[in-house]
Chain A
Amino acid sequence: MNNNYRPALFWFAAFTSVMTFLLIGLGGLVTSNEAGMSVPDWPTSYGYNMFALPIKFWRGGALYEHTHRLWGSYVGLLTTILAVWIWLKDNRKWMHWLGIAAFILVIVQGILGGLRVRMSLDWLGVPHGAVAQMFLVLICSMTLFLSRWWHQSATVKQAPVPRGLRSHILWVTILIFIQLLIAATMRHQHAGLAITDFPAAYGKIWPDTSPEAIAHYNATRPPGTIGNPITAFQVNLQMVHRLVAYAIFLGVAAAAMLARKKLGGKDGLTKFAFFWLGLLTLQILLGAATIWTNKAADVATGHVMVGALALLTGSLWCLIAIRRDRLAAAT
């Protein structure tokens, strides 16, 4: 059985991971700039073969949407090569299936994106965003499984990771995924900011959502606000997003403290947990900045990307902890 570390395969997987992360950023730019429907046809673009659209049409919203399509195709190609490469060179059966799963997921993701455009269905943007996050976690997990550390960890004595700490981080990671679903639902309402101030909400701890209040919010939204009128549902959804954000921040802070207490300050997983806490701090600042800038496209996209990194960090932490714990139990 040949389970040896293959540097070229690992670095190719790492490259695919980075390209996937950037693709999420591009997808974020498409939604932040309300550009998703700027190229109404798919898989053609303005009637041209997608890969042959003249550069003169890459303007405005079409620049974001068309680049996103091309980048998505590129990630699809990289994923296909990765899956084939793993199938041919990696002897672990479960890795073969992960490669196939990634291949299927990237195809499903492309079709979801295409259907969202072809059928003009705003809500399809939510599963499209959710699958993007799942795909990033999958590709990065495969990169971890192909890494030198994963291959050589069996030969090094591993310190166990307490079950309570692992469970805590798993639950916080699941909560982050739920938060990303809430965020995707908010973004795909295409209604701009439902609440325009922070940390208060229309000057209150919990905003008034009576029909009169909603009518007043719509009448007094910042001039130039692009999007549909807001509804009480959207105001409440943003409040839920804020509350879940606070819960996640406390959960991640507790995880970092617990890791330092149980594993010691010098343990790699403790450092990783503090990195996670740093990401969450940045994420809350970006969330606030998204509101303070009236949802500036680059700030909102940064918020999406750091959210993806937060989910990824929690997921990889859990996988590394499970690996360490199993190896520790085996020795």
Chain B
Amino acid sequence: MKKSLLLLSLLCVATQLIRAGDITGTITLKGTPPAERELSPIRDNPDCSAMYPAALPKTKFYVVGSGGELADVIVYLKGVPSASTGASASPVVLDQKGCLYSPQILAVQTGQKVIVKNSDPCVHNVHTKPGANSEQNQVQMPNGADLTFTFDKPEPFLKFQCDVHPWMFAWVSVFDHPYFAVSGPDGKFTIKNVPPGKYTLEAAHRKLGTKDADIEVKDSGASQDFTFEVK
């Protein structure tokens, strides 16, 4: 009897997985974004400037490909019930390299670990500036142990900053479900294993705001592109 129940449960889960589709799409930017600014304060910091013997890095507010492909857009299902699998999800790594956060935009689930590394030869403080979650601030020595952060509540674009190097920022969007993705340098995104149904899909860029689309996910998945415009 027990074996039968277990088999039935596994069958249900397998069916659910089979009946889940991926949402794919491409994010495009229309128009010319404002020019990125050189991070000139790096020049005054001997630790960081030593890592840039030639040109200094610039801000990365708009990461756009030659064809208008827009990276760092967070795409997610809006208004879905809480179903975080963050506790068992793989940790996400946020590195501090060249006195910059890498990546600068990321997304996690509530309870999912964010592992913060320090690959720099200098000290950083990792300071979260949340809206809904608790503020945290920890020092991380060069080659120091990794730091682990988790967040209990969903919130968009939670800011990580280093106050030692005040040009260093990263933004982490926290969701209470697993249905989200961040667009890559080619502007493409994939949200995996979405159960069939009708949803509102939202794309959020930190500078350009949000765009919504109503979609229907079938067994074969769904496709939805977004176009942002610089006004």
List CB contacts (< 8 Å) of A14-63 with chain B: 33-41, 46-47, 57, 59-62
Given the complex, which residues of B lie within 8 Å of A330, measured CB to CB?
Answer: none
Select which of A33, A37, A223, A228 is within 8 A of B36 by beta carbon: A223
- Asked if A120 and B47 sit within 8 Å, CB to CB, the answer is no
- Asked if B166 and A60 sit within 8 Å, CB to CB, the answer is yes
Given the complex, which residues of B lie within 8 Å of A46, measured CB to CB?
Answer: 123, 139, 141
- Asked if B37 and A224 sit within 8 Å, CB to CB, the answer is yes
Select which of B35, B36, B138, B164 is within 8 A of A60 by beta carbon: B164
Task: Give the distance in Å from the alpha carbon of A174 to the alpha carbon of B163 in the complex.
Answer: 34
- Let me know if B122 is at the binding interface, CB within 8 A: yes
- Asked if A228 and B129 sit within 8 Å, CB to CB, the answer is yes
Given the complex, which residues of A lie within 8 Å of B167, measured CB to CB?
Answer: 226
Find the A residue at minimum CB distance from B126. A40
Task: Give the distance in Å from the alpha carbon of A34 to the alpha carbon of B139 in the complex.
Answer: 16
Given the complex, which residues of B lie within 8 Å of A36, measured CB to CB?
Answer: 163
- Asked if B123 and A40 sit within 8 Å, CB to CB, the answer is no
The A/B interface has a contact count, at CB < 8 Å, of: 63
- Let me know if B61 is at the binding interface, CB within 8 A: yes
- Asked if B59 and A223 sit within 8 Å, CB to CB, the answer is yes
Most-contacted residue by chain B among A46, A60, A62, A120 (CB, 10 A):
A60
- Let me know if B198 is at the binding interface, CB within 8 A: no
Find the B residue at minimum CB distance from A36. B163
Find the A residue at minimum CB distance from B129. A228
- Let me know if A219 is at the binding interface, CB within 8 A: yes
Given the complex, which residues of A lie within 8 Å of B163, measured CB to CB?
Answer: 34-38, 61, 65
Of the four ranges (under 10, 10 to 19, 20 to 34, 35 or more), the interface on chain B belongs to: 20 to 34
Given the complex, which residues of B lie within 8 Å of A59, measured CB to CB?
Answer: 45-47, 122-123, 164
Find the A residue at minimum CB distance from B231. A219
Binary interface profile of B, 130-147, with partner A (CB < 8 Å = 1, else 0)?
000001011101000000
- Asked if A223 and B61 sit within 8 Å, CB to CB, the answer is yes
- Asked if A120 and B59 sit within 8 Å, CB to CB, the answer is no
B79 to chain A, nearest CB (A): 22
- Let me know if B193 is at the binding interface, CB within 8 A: no
- Asked if A61 and B164 sit within 8 Å, CB to CB, the answer is yes
Task: Give the distance in Å from the alpha carbon of A36 to the alpha carbon of B129 in the complex.
Answer: 13
- Let me know if B165 is at the binding interface, CB within 8 A: yes
Given the complex, which residues of A lie within 8 Å of B127, measured CB to CB?
Answer: 37, 40
A68 to chain B, nearest CB (A): 13
Select which of A57, A62, A120, A223 is within 8 A of B137 by beta carbon: A120
- Asked if B137 and A33 sit within 8 Å, CB to CB, the answer is no
Task: Give the distance in Å from the alpha carbon of A41 to the alpha carbon of B209 in the complex.
Answer: 36
A33 in contact with B45 given A46-B123, A46-B141 (CB within 8 Å): no
- Let me know if B207 is at the binding interface, CB within 8 A: yes
A94 to chain B, nearest CB (A): 43
B63 to chain A, nearest CB (A): 15
Task: Give the distance in Å from the alpha carbon of A38 to the alpha carbon of B168 in the complex.
Answer: 12
Given the complex, which residues of A lie within 8 Å of B209, measured CB to CB?
Answer: 219
A33 in contact with B34 given A40-B125, A62-B123, A223-B61 (CB within 8 Å): no
A119 to chain B, nearest CB (A): 9
- Asked if A60 and B165 sit within 8 Å, CB to CB, the answer is yes
A39 in contact with B139 given A223-B61, A224-B37, A228-B129 (CB within 8 Å): yes
Task: Give the distance in Å from the alpha carbon of A57 to the alpha carbon of B163 in the complex.
Answer: 13
Task: Give the distance in Å from the alpha carbon of A59 to the alpha carbon of B99 in the complex.
Answer: 13
- Asked if A33 and B37 sit within 8 Å, CB to CB, the answer is no
A-side residues, CB < 8 A to B, are 33-41, 46-47, 57, 59-62, 65, 120, 219, 223-224, 226, 228
Add 19 more A-B contacts to A33-B166, A60-B165, A223-B59 (CB < 8 A): A35-B166, A37-B127, A37-B163, A38-B163, A39-B125, A46-B139, A47-B139, A59-B47, A59-B122, A59-B164, A60-B166, A61-B165, A61-B166, A120-B135, A223-B34, A223-B37, A224-B37, A226-B166, A226-B167
Q: List 15 A-B contacts (CB under 8 A).
A: A34-B166, A35-B164, A38-B125, A38-B163, A40-B125, A46-B123, A57-B123, A59-B45, A60-B47, A60-B48, A61-B163, A65-B163, A219-B207, A223-B35, A223-B36
